[in-house]
């Protein structure tokens, strides 16, 4: 039996298929409630607190979040959970104080860059819209691929065509240890083995790409037709399944005889030592990276369009504040539970020689490979048939709920903050909705191409953080500066926003750089500092001619 | 190191416990909010602070 085989059965396929059909139909059905652009883009600003919390958590908990957290959990252990602690602390702070979010919601905006026009100028809004969309779409680039990888390995699709057990190494450029005495025969066996390996990898890649295409098509269908109403309603459904799926995953990780809290922590202590638990220890993330994440999470909570849109869809400013407060545990679990899956996968693999050879060719103390396969494979092996279908439906929900929100957000930003201002006139509702739908489809096509072409980096989380920085570094500076500093000017805002572009080249740097948490932490913090300095200096040098609008006046 | 193990144990208990408790509340109340959302959207009525926004120059159908 292949090491990629899982407990996934026909019953589980039926569960997932029924769920996918139901969610697609639901999304199309709610189209009847969309009457205006406000309905389409911010669901009429009618979402109550519980519904807003559900969609807030579902949006933040994408399958790609599960994947990159599981990968880092698998590679670095419990230390990764510090991100969950940071996320929860920031959620509690914003939720307790209403910092920024109350004022944003009070301004009755549809997108965040609208605020920049009200506070600064139309040019700042357009530049913010372009950079926001660029960062967001690049950030989203790996979502379909990562999600499809999870589905492929959790369902056992990754084992299709694998007819032999990998004995020694697994990379196509590594030959097995051939036992043949004849050197010529040995070379032939090695060559055949490598050819089989290449064919297997190609088949797995093809499977991932097909799964990615199907998922994208379903999400596009209901997002294009139903807009934000569909996004909110399906997000709620997906929240229910997600909570169930994550709960089942945690239950089996902690109760299986070969796993459990004691065995998991003991295996990490034995093979990785303190670095697996202490994020500041030598060999772990380090102080720069943790500090970068602290700033980055705060910026993302306030400015990252999919999360910020939950502020804008809230019924009133108080609901916006409470969304962050009640959603703060979600900020912890969205990173900690998937990390726990990766952490448990390490323990599981350490007890199985075949799996250990596949994932750790240099030994369990060495560098791991194929980390993206570990957590889905673990779940596929420890959760029984039937329940596995429910868990996978929950994970597919996680994939879809983030895709739909991201599609809506970036398309809304391009339509309202780039195209409409550049055309110099208000677009009608019908025009805005049509343009948004076309952009959503274009983003979907881009994701397919990017997902096939771009090679997964060693640390997917660092990729996500850097692409987010392109927009967040400048946006958070000019948002807070605009609200709380009267001297902030349009020139300063433009300089601050453009400073964020310094992060773009990092996306294309090799793994030795992007995989280094010290270098990434320094670059990330440096970019925030650069944007702040540019914003302050240019605001001092080039003040606006008209007096700055007070935040309360910055309302349409 | 045992201090860190204990810290993560309690972080998981508190974090996950509060999430699943929150989920138990959010699921029924979220369903109620969906019903209200459909009612607001279906009637074309105006919820508190809602449905008036810049750029919307057409009345709901």
A76-88 per-position pLDDT tens digit: 999 999 999 999 9
Determine whether the interchain pair B18/A329 forms a contact, defined as Cβ–Cβ distance below 8 Å. yes
* pLDDT tens-digit map of A7-20: 888 888 888 888 87
Instruction: Sort A546 into a burial class: Cβ within 10 Å, 0-12 / 13-18 / 19+.
Output: exposed
Chain B: closest CA distance from residue A428 (Å): 6
CATH of A10-541, one of 3.40.309.10, 1.10.10.10, 1.20.1730.10, 2.40.440.10: 1.20.1730.10
Residue A157: partners with Cβ closer than 8 Å, 6 or more residues away:
A151, A207, A211
Residue with tokens 């075949």: A354
Which residue is closest to A48 within chain B, CA to CA? Answer: B33
Q: Residue A290's pLDDT is what?
A: 92
Which pLDDT value is given to residue A554?
A: 44
| Owner of token pair 């300063």 | A492
Cα angle for residues A228, A231, A236 (degrees, 5° grid): 130
Predicted confidence (pLDDT) at residue B24 exceeds the cutoff of 90: no
Give me A401's structure tokens. Answer: 């709920």
Say yes or no for a CB contact (<8 Å) between B55 and A326: no
Residue in B closest to A428 by C-alpha: B57
> Distance between CA atoms of A31 and A14, rounded to whole angstroms?
26
The shortest C-alpha distance from A329 to chain B (Å) reads: 5
Q: What is the DSSP string of A467-500?
A: HHHHHHHHHHHHHHHHHH-TT--HHHHHHHHHHG
In three-state form (DSSP H/G/I as H, E/B as E, the rest C), the secondary structure along A319-367 is HHHHHHHHHHHHHHHHHHHHHHHHHHHHHHHHCCHHHHHHHCCCCCCCC
* Cα angle for residues A428, A430, A436 (degrees, 5° grid): 100
Q: Decide: A8 and A380 in contact? Cβ < 8 Å.
A: yes
Write out residues 27-66 of A within 8 Å (CB-CB) of B: 33-39, 42-54, 57
**Element housing A236 (H / E):** helix A183-255
A84–B11: do the CB atoms touch at under 8 Å?
yes
C-alpha angle A14-A18-A19 in degrees, rounded to nearest 5: 115
Integer-rounded Cα Rg, in Å, for chain B is 21
Helix, strand, coil percentages, rounded to 5, for chain A: 80, 0, 20
Closest CA to A542 of A498, A500, A494, A497: A494
Question: Is the ipTM of this structure higher than 0.85?
Answer: no
Q: What are the structure tokens assigned to A190, written together?
A: 């090695």
At B27, is the pLDDT very low, low, confident or very high (cuts 50, 70, 90)? confident
Q: Please check whether residue A34 is in contact with residue A302, taking contact to mean a CB–CB distance below 8 angstroms.
A: no
pLDDT for position B46 = 46
Task: Establish if A253 touches chain B: CB-CB under 8 angstroms.
Answer: no
The minimal CB distance from A277 to the residues B4, B22, B44 is found for: B4
Cβ neighbours of B61 in A, within 8 Å: 35
Which one, of A207, A200, A230, lies nearest residue A218 by Cα? A230
**Is the CB of residue A86 less than 8 Å from the CB of residue A277?**
no
DSSP annotation string for A374-390: HHHHHHHHHSPTTHHHH
Residues of B in Cβ contact (< 8 Å) with A239: 23, 26-27, 30
- Contact between chains at A239 and B23 (C-beta distance less than 8 A): yes
Task: Kindly list the residues from chain A whose CB atom is less than 8 angstroms away from the CB atom of residue B13.
Answer: none
CA–CA distance from A172 to each of A6, A168, A197 (Å)? 23, 11, 6
What are the chain B neighbours of A332 within 8 Å (beta carbons)? 11, 15-16, 18-19
CA distance to A231, A375, A392, A527, per residue, from A63 (Å): 16, 12, 10, 28
Residue A226, pLDDT score: 58
- Count interface pairs A-B at CB distance under 8 A: 173
Q: Flag whether residue A529 sits within 8 Å of chain B, measured between CB atoms.
A: no
Residue A541 confidence (pLDDT): 93
> For chain B, how many structural domains are there in total?
1
In a domain, B7, yes or no: yes
Chain B residues near residue A337 by CB distance under 8 angstroms: 16
Shortest alpha-carbon distance between residue A34 and chain B (Å) = 7
Sort A193 into a burial class: Cβ within 10 Å, 0-12 / 13-18 / 19+.
buried
Binary contact (B50, A114; C-beta < 8 A): no
Q: Please indicate, yes or no, if residue B33 is contained in any of the structural domains.
A: yes
Q: Please give the C-alpha separations between residue A132 and each of A64, A369, A504, B12, in angstroms, as whole numbers.
A: 20, 33, 13, 34
Q: In chain A, whose CA is at the least distance from the CA of B19?
A: A329
Site of tokens 């999304």: A27
User: In chain A, which residue's Cα lies nearest the Cα of B31?
Assistant: A51
Q: Which of B7, B11, B13, B23 to mutate to test the interface with A (most CBs of A within 10 A)?
A: B23
Overall size of chain B counted in residues: 61
- Among candidates A36, A53, A109 on the partner chain, residue whose Cβ is nearest the Cβ of B26: A53
Helix or strand (DSSP H, E) at A246: helix A183-255
Q: Dig out the tokens for A480 from the structure.
A: 């807070």
Q: Do A332 and B19 touch (CB under 8 A)?
A: yes
Would residue B14 count as lying in a domain?
yes
CA pair distance A402, A65, nearest whole angstrom: 10
- Is there a contact between A380 and A154 (Cβ–Cβ < 8 Å)? yes
To the nearest whole Å, the CA of B49 is away from the closest chain A CA by 6
By Cβ distance, the residue of B5, B41, B59 closest to A46 is B41
- Residues of chain A with pLDDT below 50 are 163-178, 550-556
Q: Phi and psi for A281 in degrees, rounded to 5?
A: -70, 160
The residue that leads in pLDDT, B26 or A306, is: B26
> What is the domain range of residue B3?
1-42
Q: Produce one character per residue of B19-31: b if its CB has 16 or more CB atoms within 10 Å, e if not.
A: beebbeebbebbe
Work out the number of other CB atoms within 10 angstroms of the CB of residue A46: 29
Contacts of A316 in chain B (CB under 8 A): 48-49
pLDDT of residue A420: 81
Q: How confident is the model at residue B37 (pLDDT cuts 50, 70, 90)?
A: confident
> Which residues are A47's β-sheet partners?
A314
Give me the residues paired with residue A284 across strands.
Answer: none
pLDDT of residue A12: 85
Q: Report pLDDT for A180.
A: 52
Confirm if A230 and A218 have CB atoms less than 8 A apart: no
Minimum Cα–Cα distance from B59: chain A residue: A36
Beta bridge partners of A314: A47
Q: What is the pLDDT of residue B59?
A: 35
pLDDT at position A74: 92
Task: Give the torsion sign (CA, A365, A366, A367, A372).
Answer: negative
Distance CA A282, CA A490 (A): 43
Verify whether the Cβ–Cβ distance B56 to A36 is below 8 Å.
yes
Q: Is A258 helix (H, G, I), strand (E, B) or coil?
A: coil
The DSSP symbol for A416 reads I
CA distance A146 to A41: 27
Helix (H, G, I), strand (E, B) or coil at A47: strand
Element (H, E) at B31: helix B2-43
The reported pLDDT for the residue numbered A342 is 93
**CB hemisphere CA count around A318 (13 angstroms):** 2
Rg (CA), chain A: 24
Q: What is the pLDDT of residue B56?
A: 40
Task: Return the DSSP state at A516.
Answer: -
The DSSP annotation for A156-175 comes to: TGGGTT--S---S--STT--
């Amino acid at each position: 039996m292949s090491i990629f085989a899982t407990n996934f059965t026909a019953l589980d396929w039926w569960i997932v298929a029924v769920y996918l059909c139901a969610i697609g139909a639901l999304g199309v059905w709610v189209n009847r409630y969309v009457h205006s652009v406000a309905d389409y883009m911010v669901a009429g600003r009618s979402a109550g607190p519980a519904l807003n919390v559900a969609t807030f958590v579902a949006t933040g908990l994408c399958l790609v979040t599960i994947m990159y957290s599981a990968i880092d959990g698998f590679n670095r252990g419990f230390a990764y959970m510090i991100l969950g602690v940071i996320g929860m602390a920031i959620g509690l702070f914003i939720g307790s104080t209403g910092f920024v979010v109350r004022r944003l919601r009070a301004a009755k905006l549809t997108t965040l860059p609208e605020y920049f026009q009200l506070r600064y100028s139309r040019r700042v809004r357009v530049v913010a819209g372009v950079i926001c969309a660029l960062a967001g779409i690049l950030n989203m680039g790996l979502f379909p691929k990562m999600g499809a990888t999870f589905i492929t390995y959790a369902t056992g699709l990754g084992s299709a065509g694998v007819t032999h057990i990998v004995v020694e190494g697994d990379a196509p450029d590594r030959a097995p240890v051939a036992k043949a005495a004849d050197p010529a025969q040995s070379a032939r066996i090695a060559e055949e083995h490598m050819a089989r390996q290449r064919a297997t990898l190609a088949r797995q890649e093809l499977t991932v790409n097909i799964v990615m295409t199907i998922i994208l098509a379903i999400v596009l269908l209901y997002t294009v037709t139903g807009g934000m109403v569909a996004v909110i309603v399906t997000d709620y459904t997906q929240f229910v399944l997600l909570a169930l799926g994550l709960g089942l995953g945690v239950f089996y990780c902690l109760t299986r005889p070969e796993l459990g809290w004691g065995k998991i922590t003991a295996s990490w202590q034995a093979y990785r030592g303190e670095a697996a638990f202490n994020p500041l220890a030598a060999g772990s993330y380090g102080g720069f990276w943790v500090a970068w994440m602290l700033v980055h999470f705060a910026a993302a909570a306030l400015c990252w369009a999919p999360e910020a849109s939950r502020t804008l869809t809230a019924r009133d400013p108080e609901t916006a504040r409470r969304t962050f407060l009640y959603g703060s545990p979600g900020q912890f679990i969205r990173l900690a539970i998937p990390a726990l899956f990766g952490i448990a996968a390490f323990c599981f693999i350490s007890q199985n020689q075949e799996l250990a050879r596949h994932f750790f060719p240099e030994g369990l103390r060495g560098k791991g490979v194929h980390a993206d396969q570990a957590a889905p494979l673990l779940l596929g092996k420890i959760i029984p048939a039937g329940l596995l279908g429910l868990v996978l439906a929950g994970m597919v929900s996680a994939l879809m709920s983030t895709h739909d929100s991201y599609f809506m957000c970036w398309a809304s930003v391009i339509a309202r903050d780039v195209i409409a201002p550049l055309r110099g006139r208000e677009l009608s509702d019908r025009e805005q909705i049509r343009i948004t739908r076309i952009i959503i489809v274009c983003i979907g096509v881009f994701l397919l191409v990017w997902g096939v072409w771009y090679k997964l980096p060693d640390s997917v989380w660092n990729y996500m953080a850097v692409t987010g920085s392109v927009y967040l570094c400048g946006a958070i500076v000019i948002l807070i500066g605009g609200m709380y500093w009267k001297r902030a000017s349009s020139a300063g805002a433009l300089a601050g926003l453009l400073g964020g572009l310094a992060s773009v080249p990092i996306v294309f740097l090799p793994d030795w750089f992007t995989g280094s948490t010290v270098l990434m932490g320094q670059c990330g913090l440096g970019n925030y500092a650069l944007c702040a300095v540019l914003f302050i200096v240019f605001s001092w040098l080039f003040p606006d001619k008209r007096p700055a609008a007070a935040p309360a006046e910055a309302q349409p | 190191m045992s201090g860190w193990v204990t810290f993560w144990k309690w972080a998981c208990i508190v974090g996950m416990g509060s999430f699943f408790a929150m989920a138990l509340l959010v699921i029924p109340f979220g369903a109620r909010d969906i019903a209200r959302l459909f009612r607001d959207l279906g009637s074309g009525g105006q919820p508190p602070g809602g449905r008036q926004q810049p750029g919307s120059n057409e009345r709901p159908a």
